[in-house]
Amino acid sequence: MNTQLRHIAQRHPCFSHQASMNRGRIHLPVSPVCNIQCRFCRRAFNKIENRPAVASGLLEPKDAVSYVRGALELCPEITVVGIAGPGDPLASPHALQTFQLIYQNFPEMINCLSTNGLLLEDYALDLFHAGVQTVTVTVNAVDPAILAHICASIIVEGKRYEGYEGAAQLIAAQKRGIAKAAALGMLIKINTVLIPPLNGDHIADIARTVKALGAGIINIIPLIPQYEFSDFQSPDCIDLTLAREAAEEFLPVFRHCQHCRADACGILGKTDLFLPQIEQSFSHG
């Protein structure tokens, strides 16, 4: 990791344990739709669940600047403006529009994108020019035979692809996108949802592959059993430890993930805030 990227990581609570203790982040829930369907993912609007793909509502890009300004008044320790849902940020134009506005008004902030990577190659350069410095890509397998059991389908240019074919296309797109974003100088984190019966023995392969593409850190996330995987068991401490050790042979492992909501705000586990209610009527997607 070069000096510039190390400096970014030290200010980003999702890349550094030290930063997670005293640096804050705000997630802007501007992304209404997704272009893949994972078997464990269920998007929702509520104030109860603390997990990805959940927000109290959808924020319009035009309101993002005032929203961030209000958050900074409540929590000046915020250093990161992230977009992580509730859909995929690259499946609609709203995330890019929002990053452009944030970069113009808060150039000191770290702009952070979390994506499934299906369209990352297409938008990497635009994101770079919009000030995006860090990108998290969720990679749950690099073998289509495994990923086909985790990801039910993808949508590319309006056409749905399922099973092995869809999984193979997603993996290929993720590889191209990670490589392009890394070549532009973005700091790449990989999120991998640990599902022991499916990808528990595949973690080292994932870490080895993404490192070669330019990723700098990996985060192993225990499955939250829900949707089609509601009957699965969440990984236990031994499962998680073994997976992290396997990944750590190739990449540093971030070990303090809090399963943040798509509208998370504040310092992880310390000053999490609910900002004023976001309207749920925004549905341009």
pTM: 0.89
Find the mean pLDDT for residues 155-181: 97
Does residue 139 lie within any of the structural domains?
yes
Total number of domains in the chain: 1
- How many Cβ atoms from other residues are within 10 Å of residue 126's Cβ? 14
Task: Report the distance separating Cα 137 and Cα 188, nearest Å.
Answer: 7
Range 46-52 average pLDDT: 67
Phi and psi at residue 190, to the nearest 5°: -105, 130
Q: Which two tokens stand for residue 235?
A: 């990984």
- 107 pLDDT exceeds 70? yes
State the average pLDDT for the chain: 87
**Residue 281 resides in a domain:** no
Counts for the chain of helices (H) and strands (E), in that order = 10, 13
Residue 88 belongs to a domain: yes
CA-to-CA dists, residue 131 to 10, 45, 128, 148, angstroms: 18, 28, 5, 34
Q: For residue 177, which of 106, 221, 116 has the smallest C-alpha distance?
A: 116
Report CA torsion sign: 170, 166, 244, 27: positive
pLDDT at 187: 92
- 278, part of any domain: no
Residue 47: CATH number of its domain: 3.20.20.70
What pLDDT was estimated at residue 282? 39
**Parent domain of 130:** 3-267
pLDDT over threshold 80, residue 159: yes
Quick one: pLDDT band at residue 178, thresholds 50, 70, 90?
very high
Domain membership of residue 224 (yes or no) is yes
